[in-house]
Structure 1
């Protein structure tokens, strides 16, 4: 068991707030004029101070109160990550309501299930697409009283049920005029154990479960991150992560606690472009984003070839030697120092410039990050701090630190949290960040939180010194018919590092006599390869079904197999005619593979490899 750190515990006691509303309002009082958020408006970026955000949130909170929303009643947000998401979230917090989050990609049937299960009173719907989902299943959501449309105006047929965001603000202004103490009265009612967030897990299997997160888990997360001193008010975050996901929401809590500014834009296709303009000092992402960035850079260099490619590989070779030294707490000197200075000037600094040139570190979470990928970025002078947590632990349970990291691990446990490894290797967590339970599901709550308060994560791992290492998901581990255990995530991550053209690599072999894989190729990365291999102008389906593409993948599989145990090696693979996506239900919105769904969907192809 890893004990609570005394220093971190003392920091928690002095810095932790009463509830999320207090955390936000204390931030406003401490730094009212500082920039809170930066957001795109047309071709420009606009800023909002903490005071401006407070004024808007209070007005909107009063609008919710005027609509009849009571303390701890649910207000849902069905929207992509944008400035209005934060504003609507804060409105719910200041009204003492609890937020329920809905991914904008969620199917209409699942939206109806979440709204009904959570007994949502009001939904903030991003646009007509989200409104259509609610309209189609209105009879199945009896608790839903109003929909507030973020973009656009309600139609005549919807005007009794739907109102615009501006109309809600006007309603709030009028309510505050007649009830000036309305917000303060609500704030006085909020207790630490009151429900703040009801977040439905994206679910790699089955229907999503509502995770009940009281105010106390968020105030703990904010104080814990402040306590480990990795961020300050002078940092600038670039936030693109889905705020419907717990990873995105914990970053809000941390921001309110510490007071740094955030540039916010959830458009995934704009991440690199925005980072270059915003020049953040840190950014959090799922591993898939780092995989795609690595693949894009490597394929671009390989396509150019010649002297540039040789210079690139030389520079990264030097960077790798410097990375190894820095992981030991040392700095390069002598000949290596001179080589590194040249490599940095000619190549490595240009890689960092793609992300704005000011990144102190990235934060990776939501899924496993391949150690070799972390080492590649570190060779370029870009440190990725991997962390660990689940929706049920309010996202953050451990994190590497800039001056205390071990690549391949998810870092030391947060101060105030305890963790231990069960006899079967499962990671167990206890502490103030753990959920109060699953909504309306006491039996499932009892399955994961035992009588002693330990949350059973479902992840397999071990400690090396104070560093936690994750091996795989307990449910993902499989045993071949020969009785050998295989950890698919490790193999999948390794292949994505080796092959710059891969989209997804799904390892399969439970109760089979050998291990196989389903392969998809990245639609963007493969185009340059196709042009260089006589397949320019061909469709994606034609490229991936070609003999040349299969030979290319086979070469990378052979390279992968050379580093695996015999029973882990990929004996056969099938290339799919399209990539796996969130929209088709094969990936979660946080870019995790829905393994069971994919194996069921492609059962015929998998079986064929074992005929």
Structure 2
């Protein structure tokens, strides 16, 4: 299909051409225009939420930037950050951008061998680490001793004998002295920074192979901020709760958008504190991955057992929500009786759930993995639109998005204004062109040339465009299954159907290439399993033992049968195995952003897969 651009493309290009010359200027503009406006909220050491203005944050980043300059770092140098989401992560990253240095972001749960590879490949000469535990993961690589000249520990005191180590507070002290001696040092460095300055190297953990370093310039991040901000979906009065890993492009992009919109960012990366934090900061929007939204739904459902009075009311309310969906999703007037029922369901159930999530959510945004349509409908029925977006690290993460006022269910929305999308007529592959596309893969021009042709980035994803420019994702090209019967199966769609129709299933991997039928590896939600055991006379039983209970397997079979009823016969899962543990970063079967690494999982659990196909000839075709 011919490429499609957004109808605001010309306006965005004009805004981009006349935009700030660099990220430091963008921050300076926000701090000067709205000096006392709250830009940041974050928990202190005691868990109490604090606020920081844009001007205070700007001044802080200048102190940190001056400290880095005092230590000899300059424009073009690469500095790593290996830490969880926090206000200090943002400050360190912004300080590097202000002086024109490059952030090499690493997840705190990155495996030790990958840390070694990433730091060597990026050429990082310093690194911020969250704490002493991560310090040890870096310091253990003696081959990096000559390359990494400084390690800044962001939390706690310096108890290391390594002369390269200094604390966050010591870096600030260097910065204050430097600013006293050379007051213009930061602004001098900022003046030498442009749209072409390399801002970030993000290594994609990927679902296969060695990490690839994606180079994103300051100009690309500025373009993303303008492109998102121009649609007026996000406002300066919004409070955006951010738990996403900032090492991932999705999280970082949303932070930089706030430089344009003035949105307040409330930061805390602890996943187990998402719901409690939302009740404290009352966000108006939140971004996340499908698995987090599935956990929110499971938490609501598990709090009201099906046979209890609360469970029956919840079930009735959700049925009313489903009945109202065709009307509310199309902005149509409901019949009087249904409208009255929905109003009651909202008062008894939906408003209570929304209150648990802070009470002010206008919408939530899902990205990074395929969203189950039923999960999207569930949130919409609750009164919280769940908007799906799409992008890859190579296109600065957020390239397509739905808007609350322009939501098309099942699609990932339309492309960011100023960029273009094309779907290859032969393969169905999605191609993207524009300022959102990366500069290239770090130290790998050959691979860069393979994925970027005539300015078009080849995503490796299959999709289709409708007449209005809305994009629909099918799957990864390399993941599409062709059964021995010649049928094509999108494993991600089947996996989304499994997790979407089961409160129990946390992760799923569907396999079937070259076989007569599909099978699945599934892991269970530990919270669901614990609560199930508590109500079925197995309280306290370990995860590995509980998943072997026949009653648990029967429950899973019912859930999978429900999912199968909504699939084509060739897509249905004929057999499944429950894993003894969730797939994790540690065993190489999951990425730090909670996505399953399909090829690694299949290799890791090949024995279980072979078992499910042991008597393939005897399994009835459906």
Same fold (TM over 0.5): yes
Taking the aligned partners of 1:141 and 1:285, their CA distance within structure 2 comes to: 37
Tell me what 1:287 maps to: 290
**How far, CA to CA, are the matches of 2:554 and 2:203 in structure 1?**
42
Deviations 1:515-570 (CA, angstroms, capped at 9, x unpaired): 11111111111122223333233222221101111111111122222222222111
* 1:94 aligned residue (91, 94, 98): 98
Match of 1:351 in 2: 353
The answer for the alignment partner of 2:249 in structure 1 is: 246
Secondary structure of 1:385's aligned partner: strand
Q: 1:446 aligns with which of 449, 462, 475?
A: 449
| Matched residue SS, 1:520 | strand
State how far apart, in whole Å, the 2-side matches of 1:239 and 1:525 are: 25
The question of 1:75 aligning with 2:74 is answered: no
3-state SS, counterpart of residue 302 of structure 2:
helix
Q: 5+ residue gaps in structure 2? A: 615-622
The CA distance in 2 between the partners of 1:214 and 1:84, in whole Å, is 22
Aligned length: 608
Coordinate RMSD, CA, aligned: 1.4
What SS does the aligned partner of 1:524 have?
A: helix
Say if 1:280 and 1:331 are closer, same or farther in 2 by CA, change over 3 A: farther
Cα distance in 2 for residues equivalent to 1:402 and 1:235: 14
Q: State yes or no: 1:533 paired with 2:542.
A: no
Residue of structure 2 aligned with 1:126, choices 127, 130, 133: 130
Q: 1:609 to 1:93 in 2, by over 3 A?
A: same
Task: Give the whole-Å Cα distance in 2 for the aligned partners of 1:2 and 1:302.
Answer: 49
Distance 1:333 1:180 in 2: 68
Deviation at 1:513, TM superposition (A): 2.3
2:138 & 2:175 partners in 1: Cα distance?
24
The list of structure 1 runs, each at least 4 consecutive aligned residues, that deviate by more than 4 angstroms after superposition, is: none
- Residue 109 of structure 1, CA deviation: 1.6
Query: Where does 1:571-610 land on structure 2 (aligned, <5 Å)?
Result: 571-610=574-613
Superposition TM-score, scaled by structure 1 size: 0.97
In structure 2, relative to structure 1, the CA distance for the partners of 1:4 and 1:309 (3 Å cut) is same
Mean Cα displacement is larger for which, 525-534 or 569-578? 525-534
Q: Does 1:114 align with 2:118?
A: yes
Aligned to 1:325: 327
Distance in 2 (alpha carbons) for counterparts of 1:294 and 1:592: 19
Q: Which residue of 2 aligns with 1:314?
A: 316
Deviation for aligned residue 1:310: 2.1
- 1:2–1:413 CA contact under 8 A, matched in 2: no
Q: 1:537 to 1:173 in 2, by over 3 A?
A: closer
2:54 to 50, 53, 65: 50
Structure-1 residue corresponding to 2:65: 61
Distance across 2 between alignment mates of 1:416 and 1:508: 39
Q: Which residue of 2 aligns with 1:510?
A: 513
Quote the Cα distance in structure 2 between the aligned partners of 1:117 and 1:47.
37
Q: Secondary structure of the residue that 1:77 maps to in structure 2?
A: strand
Q: Secondary structure at the match of 1:206?
A: coil
Equivalent residue for 2:617?
none
What corresponds to 1:553 in structure 2? Answer: 556
Residue 257 (1) aligns with residue 260 (2): yes
Q: 1:103 aligns with which of 102, 107, 114?
A: 107
The answer for the alignment partner of 1:380 in structure 2 is: 382
Alpha-carbon distance change, 145 to 537 in structure 1, aligned in 2, over 3 angstroms: closer
Mapped contact 2:106–2:115 kept (Cα < 8 A): yes
Structure-to-structure mapping, 1:331-480, within 5 angstroms: 331-332=333-334, 334-422=336-424, 423-450=426-453, 452-465=454-467, 466-480=469-483
The answer to whether the 8 Å contact 2:65/2:99 transfers is yes
13-22 vs 432-441, greater mean Cα deviation? 13-22
**Cα distance in 1, alignment partners of residues 514 and 548 from structure 2:** 29
Which residue of 1 is the match for residue 527 of structure 2? 524
Residue in 2 that maps onto 1:482: 485
Tell me how far apart the structure 2 counterparts of residues 367 and 298 of structure 1 sit (CA, whole Å). 23
**2:619 matched residue in structure 1:** none
| Secondary structure class of the residue paired with 1:506 | strand
Post-superposition shift, 1:141?
Answer: 5.4
Is the CA contact (8 Å cut-off) linking 2:74 and 2:100 kept in structure 1? yes
Whole-angstrom CA distance in 2 between matches of 1:373 and 1:2: 30
* Alignment TM-score, normalising by the size of structure 2: 0.95
Aligned-partner Cα distance in 2 for 1:530–1:59: 53
Judged with a 3 Å threshold, the aligned counterparts in structure 2 of structure 1 residues 61 and 538 are, in CA distance, closer, same or farther, namely same
- SS at 1:157's partner residue? coil
SS at match of 2:21: coil
Q: CA deviation at 1:214?
A: 0.6
Q: 1:414-468: CA deviations, max 9, x gaps? A: 1101001112111000010000100000111011101x11100011100123211
1:7 maps to 8
Kept in 2, the 8 Å contact 1:116–1:142? The answer is no
- Superposed displacement of residue 12, structure 1: 4.5
Quick one: distance in 1 between partners of 2:576 and 2:6?
47
Q: Runs of 5+ in structure 1 lacking a partner?
A: none
TM-fit CA distance, 1:576: 1.1
In the TM superposition, what whole-angstrom CA distance separates every residue of 1:102-125 from its partner, at most 9, and x where no partner exists?
A: 100011221111111111121011
